[in-house]
Chains A and B, each alone.
Chain A
Amino acid sequence: MSDGTSGAPGNPKSAYFLSHADEEVERRTLAVLVDNEPGVLARVVGLFSGRGYNIDSLTVAEVDASQHRSRITIVTQGTPHILEQIEAQLLRIVPVGEVIDITKSKRGIERELALIKVAGTGEVRVEALRIAEIFRARVIDTTNESFIFELTGASDKISQFIDLMRPLGLVEVSRTGVLSIKRGKEQG
């Protein structure tokens, strides 16, 4: 948009101009409830790429087979204006029934699952196992030279665990992306 050099000098700047430059970028977790019909994930993802929005993480699965409902959890970033647009644009998609802003609700629980392969022998192998116990990671596969850990928790906890494994023979990581739900007895 305008860089402030265009137009005649001395014109008053509109108080309503949506200047995105000085707005803080925020991180949001959105739960998108959709009809589980062919192409619905492509519609949601296509909206993000087509309009230039970010996706930090994405998870999707059917959650109610009788109603053909799927839940898509998207972690995104943007200025408050962009985040407002994202929600409104998502609701324009015909099979999107509901968009829940988990972050804004302040009552959200967010969890992620990771499978982490670590290889090594001797002291580093013992150290990896010791740290895994602290993080309550489960060993789901083991050989004489490797472990696969299963870890569930908040994303930053998982990232922290991965960082600790790095010098201890980290081989490979697989993460689900964020799942979320709101606290309390109500739905949505």
Chain B
Amino acid sequence: MTTATKTKTRAANPAPTEPRIMTGAEIVIEALREQGVDALFGYPGGAVLPIYDALFSAPDISHILVRHEQGAGHAAEGYARSTGKCGVALVTSGPGATNMVTPITDAMMDSIPMVVLCGQVPTHLIGTDAFQECDTVGITRTCSKHNYLVTDVNDLARVMHEAFLIATSGRPGPVVIDIPKDVQFATGTYIGKDGIHKSTYKPQTQPHADAVAAVVDLIMTSSSPVFYTGGGVINSGPRASKLLRELQAVTGIPVTSTLMGLGAFPASHPDWLGMLGMHGSYEANHAMHDCDLMICVGARFDDRVTGRVDAFSPNSKKVHIDIDASSINKIVRVDVPVVGDCAATLEAILKELAKRKGKRPDLSAWKKQITAWRDRNCFAYKNSDTVIKPQYAVQRLYELTKDRETYISTEVGQHQMWAAQFYHFEEPNRWMTSGGLGTMGYGLPAAVGIQVAHPGALVIDIAGEASIQMVMQEFSTAVQHRLPVKVFIMNNEWMGMVRQWQELLHGERYSHSYSESIPDFVKLAEALGGHGIRCDNPAELDGKIKEMIAHDGPVLFDCRVEKAENCLPMIPSGSAHNEMILGEITGNEVSDAGKKLV
């Protein structure tokens, strides 16, 4: 080590006893550095200028300038979801903060670790309806895991470290820090992250031994069990996915997953049932309905998963493993609640299982039944030589990209469900989608965040022509920062899922769901400094997808698909898992009671 680097290292890591005095803005940057933040997504403005000034002399933290604060939030989510690290966004007061409300809520619903730094008007102006003032902590109180208004610069370092602790531990979520401009200018003491804790915040990660033993008792006697896994397995880290695979290998239990949990279990595995729920597979939903033991790992019995709750899996014993006690017995009463981290609990179950002697029931009859359901081939569709079917488009995209390091994000709607059905994942953290909140416009900024985290990877936003127009300006962000994201638009000229529901529920009265005045996406891509590709011929699709992959820069791909294709199979609202629509929608599937549901 040379003398020069030694000095540098010492400067960066002074002894903990040495008080470090700096401005609030410098405290923010130093805390980000200590937390290992290498990228943040943001947009400057009056109330956040001192932090931007400090950022000017922090070349080790890259700042991605977005076009709209919502884009910064979703980009931070994409970054977080694809790395397991905490995403960070930096925005100004007032409109900067209110534009962040959607991504904060999105991260809350999907349990994504994120720290949002907001500028605020100086403390003496708070409450005076000052220019660009809003009650940020009031507005974000119910949509964040926690939030802070820092009024004393000497609290700032502690709050920064506490925010990262809270965002990334327990059930992860977004934490908002509102920092008035005078606090950014004021001088105070920096403290490091060691020893930071919050006495009232104590997530339970280790499961109770009794609960683990009860789970294993059920596994030892079940003849038709199923694993129902969710985003909690991904959030728990790659070790949880590995342990799930180990436990599955030991027990042979078939696995289904929610939209959020795709990738935790490899889609190529013979015991993979596919996604469950409203647009899930026939075999997954029937297995859920007919099983005698359901082991829910890090999922939350969302209404898109359960269908009609009073007919939900009537004959099974239910186990629910979740780090958040409030998720347990919220929607469905379970027999064995296990509060704990997914990885810690799966490991404890594996250990307990290894201790047991005795033979477990044979699962072959159950697997035979599953094969019979699988043979219904529920995702079958009628392909065409003349028009590109959306299912075919995703299938080809999958075949041509599966052997690369590929990350997929989506917007929200039919294309999202087709992506979940036809794109298959072998690893966790490869699939980024807005599940809980269902935010149209999530996919492109998320792809920006993913590409920042994985510069060499192929990042594709599978989009619809309606969703993409919601936060489309972030294509310009990708161009500026040389992020070669690919936006694969399945353009059917309709808000497809809205159109499908209007067909199903409202007698084909297509009220305001047609996409009028769609931009010329090829010219648009060129105008923004990217590359545009159009394809409307199934025979040319492979070649054009290859062109998209080969292009070293951002691409808008306008894939013209069948206009009125429905996303099937489907459990209509108010129906049970074994009442799926498989072939065609007739318009008589939904009862009056079901029509009132969302």
Using CB atoms and an 8 Å cutoff, list the residues of chain A in contact with chain B.
1-8, 11-19, 34-35, 38-39, 42-43, 46-47, 50, 81, 84-85, 88-89, 91-92, 94-97
Contact = CB atoms under 8 A, between A and B. Distances in A.
Contacts of B592: 5
A88 B138 contact: no
19 contacts: A5-B592, A6-B574, A6-B591, A7-B311, A12-B311, A13-B311, A14-B311, A15-B314, A16-B312, A16-B318, A17-B309, A18-B309, A35-B198, A38-B137, A42-B138, A85-B329, A94-B201, A95-B198, A96-B200
Interface stretch (B25-33, B139-147, B215-223, B510-518): B139-147
B310 interface: yes
B35 to A, nearest CB: 18
B104 to A, nearest CB: 15
Contact of A39 (B137, B334, B574): B137
A174 B48 CA distance: 46
B141 A42 contact: yes
Contact of A50 (B142, B147, B329, B575): B142
Contact of A7 (B145, B326, B591): B591
Nearest to B294: A16
A74 to B, nearest CB: 17
B561 to A, nearest CB: 33
A13 B593 contact: no
B308 A94 contact: no
Contacts of B313: 14, 16
B331 interface: yes
B331 to A, nearest CB: 7
Contacts, number: 110
Nearest to B332: A16
A76 B367 CA distance: 48
A13 B578 CA distance: 13
Task: Tell which of A2, A42, A84, A89 has the most Cβ of chain B within 10 Å.
Answer: A2
A95 B200 contact: yes
Contact of B200 (A12, A34, A42, A89): A34
Interface string B555-598: 00000000000000000001110110000000000011110000
Nearest to A90: B326
A7 B309 contact: no
A5 to B, nearest CB: 5
A8 B200 CA distance: 48
Contacts of B575: 6-8
Contacts of B166: 94
B594 A6 contact: yes
B159 to A, nearest CB: 11
A5 B312 contact: no
Interface in B324-341: 324-326, 328-334
Nearest to B162: A94
B314 A13 contact: yes
Task: Tell which of A19, A81, A89, A92 has the most Cβ of chain B within 10 Å.
Answer: A92
B311 A39 contact: no
B308 A38 contact: no
B334 A6 contact: no
Q: Which 10 A-B pairs have the closest CB atoms?
A: A88-B326, A97-B200, A6-B574, A17-B310, A6-B593, A94-B146, A14-B314, A6-B591, A16-B333, A12-B314
A4 B141 contact: no
